[in-house]
Amino acid sequence: MTQSINHLETKLIHAAGNVKGDPVTGAVNTPIYLSSTFHQKSFDTFGDFDYSRSGNPTKQIVEEKIAELEGGARGLAFASGMAAISSAFFLLSAGDHVVVTKDVYGGTYRFVTEVLNKYAIDFTFVDMTDLTETAQAIQSNTKVIYMETPSNPCLNITDISALIRIAHANNCLAFVDNTFMTPLYQNPIALGADLVLHSATKFLSGHSDIIAGLAVTKTKELGEQLAFIQNSFGSILGAQDAYQLIQGIKTLGTRMKQSTKSAEKIANYLEENPIVEAVYYPGLATHPGHTIHRSQSTGDGAVLSLKLPTKEATRIFVENVRIPVFAVSLGAVESILSYPSTMSHAAMPKAEREKRGITDGLLRFSVGLEYVDDLIADFDQALTTVKNSTTNQAELLHNASF
């Protein structure tokens, strides 16, 4: 990498050695190596690649790219975010214990509570906005502190540096799920994290077209351990998907900044609307984690959540909103409206969900690249319908009592 490349926006396009394209042909795009196996030229010395489960040249480019973007020693590309996350947890051994943020991604919650426990790896969920509670949960066998910030779906903010200090003072590794911020806005390794995880299905690829996961380790040694697990499990990203991810990453800077700007405007609009009971967005000065977030991130991101008064109000809103798709997932060019209770957090029992603020009125909104005023006008007409129908209901109830 030449010295003139100091900015992440430039690295998104040119990182991983191929500053001027493919060294063999000059192709500006990374070649897709659809080859499971590689011919070995000599009887006793093998080349860089032997079998694509252990390594593939297209996959390697995206791995080098994410390692450079996150400032880590080693990057690894997985078949999904969950493949990266579960492989990272398999760095542990039977008898170990992990401390996990209580509002972790629903799939991570399921993995920790229903898979990891079968291998005698114990867990404690804590409110990581509370440093004392987190420190008190550490046991003599605790090996990992697992954080996710901003968290999903209530956008709670964890003080990454403070938790890393607690982790390292107790000989624990610090893992951070950086999906919501991406390396554009947040660099946990620069703050001392040992392992950073991504669902690259979201902002990094950005087009709702592939399922992918990435992991970056601070040290080469941890990277080797994780590569060993990946090769043993076989949960690798295919060459075709690796190519698509490389293409998606190139436009991350522009997409993320545009969506963030729109998210800010939408959050402000929602905060002013009386039907909306609460808006969760780290960019709002009213957000309890606002100051910590601004101290550790350079952007507020493109995901926000809103709380409507009832399940019925939420249903009316979802049925009337026209532009966003109503779907699982986030971080794409199209805006995505999700209902965490039955979507991302369906794997969590209702009582656990409610403890985390995931009520029947909570909606998550991932802001895409549509013109922001169109999105606001759309929300406005849907919220007006909610308002009118709840007023009608109140009137009906009132009339019925006579």
- Residues of this chain that interact with ligand PLP (CB under 6 A) are 80-82, 105, 107, 148, 152, 177, 179, 199, 201-202, 211, 213
The catalytic position among 53, 261, 265, 355 is 53
- Give the integer Cα–Cα distance in Å for 34 and 361: 46
The catalytic position among 59, 74, 96, 105 is 105
Task: Return the number of the residue (110 or 355) whose C-beta is nearest ligand PLP.
Answer: 110
Task: Return the number of the residue (61 or 197) whose C-beta is nearest ligand PLP.
Answer: 197
Min CB(209)–ligand PLP separation in Å: 12
The catalytic position among 177, 241, 300, 360 is 177
By the 8 A CB rule, do 200 and 238 touch? no
Min CB(213)–ligand PLP separation in Å: 5
Residues of the chain by 3-state class (helix, strand, coil), percent to 5: 40, 15, 45
- Give the integer Cα–Cα distance in Å for 31 and 18: 11
Name beta bridge partners: 272: none
By the 8 A CB rule, do 361 and 308 touch? yes
122 among known catalytic residues: no
**Residue spans of alpha helices (H) in 57-143:** 57-70, 81-89, 106-114, 131-137
Amino acid at 285: A
- Give the integer Cα–Cα distance in Å for 147 and 168: 14
Map residue 174 onto helix, strand or coil. strand
Task: Return the number of the residue (142 or 201) whose C-beta is nearest ligand PLP.
Answer: 201
The catalytic position among 102, 202, 250, 364 is 202
Min CB(82)–ligand PLP separation in Å: 4
Task: Return the number of the residue (201 or 314) whose C-beta is nearest ligand PLP.
Answer: 201
Task: Return the number of the residue (38 or 70) whose C-beta is nearest ligand PLP.
Answer: 70
| Of residues 241, 218, 217, 238, the one with CA closest to residue 227 | 217
Name beta bridge partners: 148: 177
- Give the integer Cα–Cα distance in Å for 36 and 239: 10
281 among known catalytic residues: no
Min CB(389)–ligand PLP separation in Å: 32
Nearest residue to ligand PLP, scored by beta-carbon proximity: 81
Q: Which residues contact 315 (CB under 8 A, 6 or more apart)?
A: none
220 among known catalytic residues: no
257 among known catalytic residues: no
| C-alpha dist (Å) from residue 91 to 87, 106, 221 | 7, 21, 12
Min CB(35)–ligand PLP separation in Å: 25
| C-alpha dist (Å) from residue 379 to 207, 337, 360 | 23, 11, 19
Task: Return the number of the residue (18 or 296) whose C-beta is nearest ligand PLP.
Answer: 296
| Of residues 285, 297, 261, the one with CA closest to residue 376 | 261
| Of residues 97, 100, 139, the one with CA closest to residue 122 | 97
Min CB(163)–ligand PLP separation in Å: 17
Min CB(401)–ligand PLP separation in Å: 46
By the 8 A CB rule, do 78 and 213 touch? yes
Task: Return the number of the residue (99 or 332) whose C-beta is nearest ligand PLP.
Answer: 332
Task: Return the number of the residue (142 or 152) whose C-beta is nearest ligand PLP.
Answer: 152
Min CB(153)–ligand PLP separation in Å: 9
* Residue bearing tokens 């997932």: 329
Map residue 136 onto helix, strand or coil. helix
- Give the integer Cα–Cα distance in Å for 36 and 338: 38
Known catalytic residues?
53, 105, 177, 202
